Amino acid sequence: METSALQKERASYQPKLPKALKGAVKIKEGEPTQSVDNHEEIKKLFPNTYGMPLVEFVPAEKQESFRINVGVILSGGQAPGGHNVISGLYDELKKLNPENRLFGFLMGPGGLVDHNYIEITDVLMNKYRNTGGFDLIGSGRTKLEKEEQFEKGLEIIRELDIKALVIVGGDDSNTNACVLAEYYAAKKYGVQVIGCPKTIDGDLKNDQIETSFGFDTATKTYSELIGNIARDCNSARKYWHFIKLMGRSASHIALECALQTQPNICLISEEIEAKDLSLNDIVEDIATVVARRAHDGRNYGVVLIPEGLIEFIPSIGRLIEELNDLLAEHGNDYKDLDIDAQRAYIIEHLSEGNKATFETLPEGVARQLSLDRDPHGNVQVSLIETERLISDMVAMKLNKWAKQGKYNGSFATLHHFLGYEGRCAAPSNFDADYCYSLGTSAVQLIANGKTGYMAIIKNTTEKAEDWIAGGVPITMMMNIERRNGELKPVIRKALVELDGAPFKEFVKLRSKWAKETSYIYPGPVQYWGPSDVCDQTTRTLALEQGKEVFVF
Amino acid sequence: METSALQKERASYQPKLPKALKGAVKIKEGEPTQSVDNHEEIKKLFPNTYGMPLVEFVPAEKQESFRINVGVILSGGQAPGGHNVISGLYDELKKLNPENRLFGFLMGPGGLVDHNYIEITDVLMNKYRNTGGFDLIGSGRTKLEKEEQFEKGLEIIRELDIKALVIVGGDDSNTNACVLAEYYAAKKYGVQVIGCPKTIDGDLKNDQIETSFGFDTATKTYSELIGNIARDCNSARKYWHFIKLMGRSASHIALECALQTQPNICLISEEIEAKDLSLNDIVEDIATVVARRAHDGRNYGVVLIPEGLIEFIPSIGRLIEELNDLLAEHGNDYKDLDIDAQRAYIIEHLSEGNKATFETLPEGVARQLSLDRDPHGNVQVSLIETERLISDMVAMKLNKWAKQGKYNGSFATLHHFLGYEGRCAAPSNFDADYCYSLGTSAVQLIANGKTGYMAIIKNTTEKAEDWIAGGVPITMMMNIERRNGELKPVIRKALVELDGAPFKEFVKLRSKWAKETSYIYPGPVQYWGPSDVCDQTTRTLALEQGKEVFVF
């Protein structure tokens, strides 16, 4: 395998650990916990893993050698730092006993079910330290949720003498990790299951999980690119750049990137939903900013659009919800129809209000809503070209205003979608340290006999040394939600909070950004050099924790 | 102006200069030169600026104080390092005499004609040192080519007591700089004109100009992103990523990025032209690689496509050439017709062979070829979605093969266009040093009474200290070419040479890349840290100069 100069130099970086995880470790247990909502239902569904205490690791004088084989699975979309979770697992396992073995199941949860795995060796591990991507063992989106999968997985678990599984994933995957933990506990199979909070989207976060890994690096990478585009915009002064950002439902990525780069406009889906704005309202708001800037001689700008926007426009959200349920229920009747018949089928089966919304959508968007769905049965929002849809509608609005004499500018647009450019970036110092600490914590949870827990690291705006490592029972983060037409126990997804500090900071600044040109150009992620450049936390995390925000 | 932590720290970077430019400087003149072709015609068109010698700067014991005001213009597309050309000019002017003044004409050559300018001051300059973008004075695409523009510009030149203009641009802009130099010399206006070689496209290069500035940073930024996408590709193992890369006609950017990242496929327009491949041939070649990888269980890959590809497919190239001439001649009759009438008009006026080609093109492509043109009257190749066109055609081919039982894989595609993400990146150490040296050289050319020269720096694969600074008469790089239906003296554009070392290296490796998965992940540009990471030259430059290529 040929590697870049950066990768070679970066291989020798030793990720920093919290004080408590540096040497021998012991566990400190807190009070019993309960789920965030629906206590009785969750308790009934998880009799063996409900109500367990929060735990924290503290330094010990010595720790007994501990012999175990562990399996690790990377689940869902890539996020910078996945390989460092694995190196954290690997190093801590070897520290506890050099005989310990770590197996990686290949291409996601499917690798467990289909018995595809490799053993992680020294040579292999060293090639992947501090690198981006999940290519060491691959990832996949198979959902681990059926008993037959659990039983099939058990065969290889037994064969490899594995006593614990670590599942690295987002909210869905960690929900499933908990179901699996409960199943193996109920069956007394003696197999522990531990989760790790991964997702660039930033929506796996709550009182216990300060941030999911990958969010830091991905938002820095996107902000690098947004800054470069903004600088281009401010040099040529003739284009409006519409930039859609990955991030699924929540707008955390868009908000964080806005705070880092100060674009003229950033849409926040959660606000649009709360204010019950229509597509036309959004278009009118943008056109108003464009017209004002044109009036000031500024026929250029940058607009950030969160990937999930379209679902959060309430009328369209209601439509998508019914479509998700409808197609989950009737998918088989529907999937072999031709395009026109599919459209007719949908119109026939929708309720009145949603039918009206569906019929008024531009055809391309209507088709995208009714076709491709991800393996969880949801609309693949990333395929909808919202950035073009919105800029086209803004152009139409401006044309109308021009005819009415209310606008006299030029509106030339360029479109970008940033997503795959950042999910596999080499982890920033923060993500490299954070992930390595998560992996280390996961092993300590295992060594302390825990199952149905997620590894956590708190106090993350301080120096790594002062981070607090521990674990949280996954049931503690659960509630009951409707998914694909069924009520299910799931980890509550964290959306942007409109009374949270990051959004409030954004609101304070955005009218200035809209009128003036306040772009900030963060530049590429740096690994060496001044600490204020290399070790900055995200603005979201700093604001949420009430830390002083860098005065740029 | 708020600035990022990186920008703040980077402001204090002192760009490195060649030994000869560090202190007092004197000039060493070579033999008279002649143009690369059409000697007599060029000589006749440039009687005052033809045949001048190459010059080189060497250290002197002392240099007299020299009092002058200078104007600078940024012309055409942005390239990383533009602000460092200006800081090089500024510092050297102040070194020669603190009374010297530097004026920046705003938004490109139009600023000279329309008398829009600012004076560059210490405070202003310090905010832009080592930053990306052209936003200090903006850029524009107005062509400076008419006598009335030259005379209009002269008014403000006289008013500001400017004795020399520095025009920072690509081949077209430097051609125009030479025309302007000749005009002012012929009129004995006493205004010198000096050019600087700028373009990320890498096509302004010849025996005298080793590389144009911005190519280094832009290709590193694109390679960072291609590497991230490739790592995603190799983690998820389910998509073929089609990535189009900016770079206008030439494929230098695609080739350089391919050498840095080792994708499965990279198209090189110049090769396609030389081999007289049709669109169908290209599609068949790609589909063959896809099918072979599918046979090996690899239903994923990365394809790089140069922006200018479509023009280089000979049949389409002939069509575009005729369209460019046709629309230059009849643009006025044509521009107010509706879309269908435009199509009919074109078909009616095209020659037989080109008509046939035009009629068989997918409609969207045909329309893009016949509509939007840049201010130079050329097809805006960056607007043609070649990446989608080609992947759609590959999918059709694979479907056909599947029906014939020759292919049994999955072919899911994702598309990217990388361009605006890299043109305004903060300059790499190389571009920061190179541009600063070019600006310094330009001032020394002025101080030594030169006009119609371009500033040059040679020996650029060595340490900056050992670089050789000097100047080349612009006429030396000229020949006569047909542009928009007219024969004109122009700087010869450098395309990828099929017998050059970079292309030969690529050919040597590409069949391995196609079959296996050999991706290299370069990561983001680094400014601090190990020299092998921060100070790498491009592979193109290293190979062209026979330097040892980094064995990754």
What sign does the CA torsion over A370, A372, A375, A381 have? negative
CB neighbours of B511 closer than 8 A, spacing ≥ 6? none
Average pLDDT over residues A131-149: 95
> Which residues in chain B touch residue A259, judged by CB atoms under 8 angstroms apart?
none
B265: left (phi over 0), alpha (psi -120 to 50) or beta: beta
C-alpha span between B333 and B60 (Å, rounded): 61
User: Looking at the predicted structure, is the pLDDT value of residue B514 above 90?
Assistant: yes
Asked if the model's pLDDT at residue B163 lies above 70, the reply is: yes
Interface with chain B: mutation pick from A75, A231, A246, highest number of B CBs within 10 Å: A231
Is the predicted pLDDT of residue A282 greater than 60, yes or no? yes
How close, in Å, is residue B4 to chain A by CA atoms? Answer: 5
Q: What is the pLDDT of residues B197-223, one digit of tens each?
A: 999 999 999 999 999 999 999 999 999
Q: Binding site residues of B for diphosphate, as ranges? A: 77
pLDDT of residue B552: 35
Q: Exposure of A476 by Cβ count < 10 A (0-12 exposed, 13-18 middle, 19+ buried)?
A: buried
Output the pLDDT for position A376.
65
**What radius of gyration, in Å, describes the C-alpha atoms of chain A?**
24
Range B420-449 average pLDDT: 98
For residues A229 and A416, the answer to whether their CB atoms sit within 8 Å is yes
How would residue A375 be classed by pLDDT, with cut points 50, 70 and 90? low
Rounded to the nearest 10°, the torsion over CA B145, B151, B153, B159 is 170
Task: Assess whether pLDDT exceeds 80 at residue A158.
Answer: yes
At B381 the pLDDT is: 65
| CA quadruple B418, B422, B424, B427: dihedral, nearest 10 | -170
Q: Searching chain B, which residue's CA lies closest to the CA of residue A516? A: B1
Cβ distance A532 to B9 less than 8 Å, yes or no, reads yes
* Cα dihedral value A402, A406, A407, A408, nearest 10: 80
* Size (chain A), residues: 552
pLDDT over 90 for what percent of chain B? Answer: 82
Task: Tell me what the mean pLDDT of segment B348-358 comes to.
Answer: 90
B244-261 residue pLDDT tens: 999 988 999 999 999 999
CA distance A501 to A545: 9
Q: In DSSP terms, which residues pair with A140 in a beta bridge? A: A75
Binned at pLDDT 50, 70 and 90, residue A361 comes out as confident
Q: Measure the CA–CA gap between A100 and A125, rounded to whole angstroms.
A: 14
Written as six digits, the tokens of B438 are 């070019």
Nearest to B225 among A6, A138, A421 (CB): A421
| Residue A551 in this model has a pLDDT that exceeds 50 | no
* pLDDT band, very low/low/confident/very high, at A548 (cuts 50, 70, 90): low
Q: Which two tokens stand for residue A277?
A: 């704005």
Instruction: Say if the Cβ atoms of A7 and B523 lie within 8 Å.
Output: yes
Q: With bands split at pLDDT 50, 70 and 90, how would you rate the model's confidence at B243? A: very high
Write down the pLDDT at residue A324.
84
Q: Which residues of B touch A228 (CB under 8 A)?
A: 132, 221, 420-425
What distances in angstroms separate CA B19 from CA A169, B287, B511, one per listed residue? 55, 52, 43
Whole-number mean pLDDT of chain B? 94
Instruction: Give the residue ranges of the annotated binding site of B.
Output: 77, 171, 199-201, 238-239, 246-248, 307, 420-423
- Band of pLDDT at residue B548, cut at 50, 70 and 90: low
Q: How far apart are CA A228 and CA A154, in angstroms?
A: 49
- Do B421 and A225 count as a contact with CB atoms less than 8 A apart? yes
A239 is in an annotated binding site: yes
User: How far off is chain A from B11, nearest CA to CA, in Å?
Assistant: 13
Mean pLDDT (whole number) for A325-349:
81
Tell me the C-alpha distance between B410 and B240, whole Å: 10
Contact: B424, A235; criterion CB under 8 Å = yes
In angstroms, the CA A480 to CA A499 distance is: 24
Mean pLDDT of B167-175: 96
Question: Tell me, what amino acid is at A233?
Answer: C
CA–CA distance, A111 with B333 (Å, rounded to integer): 65
Q: Provide the strand spans (E) within B285-342.
A: 301-306
pLDDT tens digit sequence for A501-540: 999 999 999 999 999 999 999 999 999 999 999 998 999 9
**Rounded CA gap, A467 and A118, in Å?**
32
ipTM: 0.94
Question: Which pLDDT belongs to residue A338?
Answer: 78
Average pLDDT over residues A113-128: 98
Q: Is A248 annotated as a binding residue?
A: yes
Interface test with A, best of B107, B142, B222, B232 (most A CBs within 10 A): B232
Neighbours of B116 (CB within 10 A): 16
| Tokens representing residue B23 in the block | 């202190």
Sheet bearing A240-245, strands edge to edge = A265-266, A301-306, A240-245, A413-418
What would the pLDDT profile of B317-342 be if each residue is shown by its tens digit? 888 888 888 887 777 777 778 778 88
The span from the CA of A390 to the CA of B513, in Å, is 40
Lowest mean pLDDT among A310-314, B148-152, B240-244: A310-314
- For B460, the token pair is 């650029």
Min distance A112 CA to chain B CA atoms (Å)? 16
Say yes or no for a CB contact (<8 Å) between B529 and A227: no
Of residues A125, A173, A181, the one with CA closest to residue A153 = A181
3-state SS, residue A178: helix
Shortest distance between the Cα of A474 and any Cα of chain B, in A, equals: 26
Chain B residues with beta carbon closer than 8 angstroms to that of A127: none
**For residue A552, what pLDDT is reported?**
35
pLDDT of residue B20: 97
Mean pLDDT of chain A: 94
The dihedral region occupied by A434, where left means phi > 0, alpha psi between -120 and 50, and beta the remainder, is: alpha
What would the mean pLDDT of A243-265 be, rounded to a whole number? 96
User: Could A528 and B525 be called an inter-chain contact, meaning their C-beta atoms sit closer than 8 Å?
Assistant: no
DSSP secondary structure string, A75-86?
BSS--TTHHHHH
Tokens of A157: 């678990």
For the question of residue B201 being annotated catalytic, the response is: yes
Lowest mean pLDDT of A62-76, A327-341, A470-484, B382-396, name the range. A327-341
Nearest residue to A414 via CA among A513, A520, A303 = A303
Contact between B83 and B114 under an 8 Å Cβ cutoff? The reply is: no
More confident residue, A264 or B346: A264
Four-point Cα dihedral A365, A369, A375, A378, nearest 10:
120
Q: What is the mean pLDDT of residues A298-326?
A: 90
Beta carbons of A536 and B5 less than 8 Å apart: yes
- The distance of A15 to chain B (nearest Cα, Å) reads 17
Contact B533 A132 (CB under 8 A): no
How large is the average pLDDT for residues A65-69? 97
Please write the tens of the pLDDT for every residue from B11-66.
999 999 999 999 999 999 999 999 999 999 999 999 999 999 999 999 999 999 99
Cβ neighbours, 10 Å, residue B226: 32
Ranges of beta strands (E only) in A292-369 are 301-306
- Put simply, the answer to whether B524 touches A4 (Cβ < 8 Å) is no
Amino acid A454: pLDDT = 98
Confidence of residue A381 (pLDDT cuts 50, 70, 90): low
Task: Give, in degrees to the nearest 5, the angle at Cα B201 between B196 and B203.
Answer: 70
Written as six digits, the tokens of B376 are 């130079």
The answer to whether B517 touches B298, Cβ cutoff 8 Å, is: yes
Q: Is A463 exposed, middle or buried (0-12, 13-18, 19+ CB in 10 A)?
A: middle
Q: What is the DSSP letter of B465?
A: G
Out of B7, B421, B550, closest to residue A5 by CB: B550
| Across A61-87, average pLDDT | 97
| Report for A104-113, B270-279, B319-328: range of highest mean pLDDT | A104-113
Residue B424 with chain A: CB contacts under 8 Å = 228-229, 231-232, 235
- In order of their start, the domains of chain B are 215-418 (3.40.50.460)
What are the helix (H) ranges across A164-278? Answer: 171-186, 215-236, 252-261, 269-274
Classify each residue of A378-416 as buried b or exposed e, where b means 16 or more C-beta atoms within 10 Å of its C-beta: bbebbebbbbbbbbebbbebbeebeeeeebebebebbbb
Beta strands in B91-210 (DSSP E): 101-105, 117-119, 162-169, 192-197
Give the Cα separation of B93 and B446 in Å (integer): 10
pLDDT at B394 over 80: yes
The answer to whether A201 is a known ligand-binding residue is yes
d(CA A116, CA A123): 20
Known binding residue A44? Answer is no
Average pLDDT over residues B231-251: 96
Instruction: State the count of interchain CB pairs (< 8 A) between A and B.
Output: 202
